[in-house]
Structure 1
Amino acid sequence: MIIIAYLGGSLSGAIIISRIMQLPDPSEHGSHNPGATNILRLNGKLPAIFVLIFDMLKGAIPVYIAYRLGVTPFFLGIIGIFACLGHIFPCFFHFRGGKGVATALGMMIPIGFDFTGCFILTWLLALLITGYSSVAAIVGFLMAPFYVWLFRPELTLPVSMLSCLIIIRHNSNIARLLKGDELKSYHRAKIKND
């Protein structure tokens, strides 16, 4: 299941959907990040929604299957982490992936609607207050281990590991935020003319 989770995570929703819909390659335009936020900036809401759902399913499906197979909670978390690692370092796309936020959200849904709901509310509040999806992700994943500890304490370690991974992946966003160069989520990105 760990191998399946990594390989499934390596399917880049942003690149695959961009190719299907004949849209610009998100790894070459905008922030160069193949994720839903960059797709939103480049191509609008509908493609971004498709990418968000695709990337969430990459996390949700392997964790749900493992849950149905009776895998212990700790290893459910590890399987979810490997789905995120596949998204971040996709073997099918030269190991250049996204930040892993949607995939991480997807892996949390099958193992707890309670703490997932708390995470989503935190993410939405941070996004509404700041306008930055990067800030929303960082705040959400800073709080995620606490929410998990409240509702499913046996998952605290893997979710803490996952949170550290996602926050580290936002190091460039943190640097841009400190410089005042970070773009808000609704800011339209320019597409380079080749």
Structure 2
Amino acid sequence: MDLTNHPILTVLLCFGAYLAGSVLFAIPVCRAWHLPDPRALGSGNPGATNVYRAGGWKPALTTLVLDAFKGWLPVWLAHLAGMSILVQAMVALCAVTGHMIPVFFRFKGGKGVATALGAGLALAPLTTLIMACVWAVIMWRWRISALASLVAIGCGPIISAILEPNTLPLFGLLTLLIVVRHRNNLIRLAQGRETGL
């Protein structure tokens, strides 16, 4: 059977990616480290930055890796099944959307940056690694996670258009989703009120 054009498998992969994305690892990680709920800290975002504020780099790194993995795994499975780039991109978007609007947490989730990182590494590794380097440089210079994330994701469509043009639609949509999720951060950045680490 040719799996590459199998609609049922496509639906299952997308649904599975959404469910995987809906697992907000920041919450169980904080519980394991006996830390406060990350949703009650800083911006209220259940992600690695707030986990870092609560407990330092070890639980934050654990959260980052797990949130990235849940984005990487479904896309890798779609690739393993021989699905098209379009289907892999759909799976990636479902994983990121799951993190942003998680069914397990009353549809109140995070910003999706780490999950997008994992999905991007599976689908467009070169583009994603360059974006990660951009994030690291901005973070090193200004120590503001939201600023680093917005600059890095904003560079995504440009980098992908040059290096991996078949993934440009994915990075365009990811940029739109993540910028919308950072709208409050954008307001605080404009007002000079955004806090760093």
User: Which TM-score applies when normalising by structure 2?
Assistant: 0.90
Q: Which residue of 1 aligns with 2:55?
A: 43
Displacement of 1:5 after TM fit? 0.3
Q: Which residue of 1 aligns with 2:184?
A: 172
Match of 2:152 among 112, 135, 140: 140
1:120 and 2:132 equivalent? yes
Q: How does 1:30-179 map to 2 (within 5 A)?
A: 30-179=42-191
Q: Which has the higher contact order (CA 8 A, sep 6+)?
A: 1
Q: What letter matches 2:26 in structure 1?
A: A
- Partner-residue secondary structure (3-state), 1:138: helix
Q: Which amino acid aligns with 1:102?
A: A
Percent identity of paired positions between Structure 1 and Structure 2: 36
Deviation at 1:124, TM superposition (A): 1.1
TM-score by length of 1: 0.92
Q: Distance in 2 between matches of 1:34 and 1:140?
A: 20
Contact persistence 1:10–1:86 (CA under 8 A):
yes
Task: Note the residue ranges of structure 2 that are not aligned, 5 or more in a row.
Answer: 1-12
Point out the structure with the larger helix share.
2
Distance in 2, Cα, partners of 1:42 & 1:106: 23
Q: Residue type matched to 1:64 in 2?
A: W
Count of paired positions = 185
Q: What is the alpha-carbon distance in structure 1 between the residues aligned to residue 44 and residue 163 of structure 2?
A: 36
Deviations for 1:17-65, whole angstroms, at most 9, x for unmatched residues? 1122222111123321100001111111111011000100010000000
- Structure 1: segments with no counterpart, 5+ residues: 187-194
What is the alpha-carbon root mean square deviation over aligned residues? 1.1
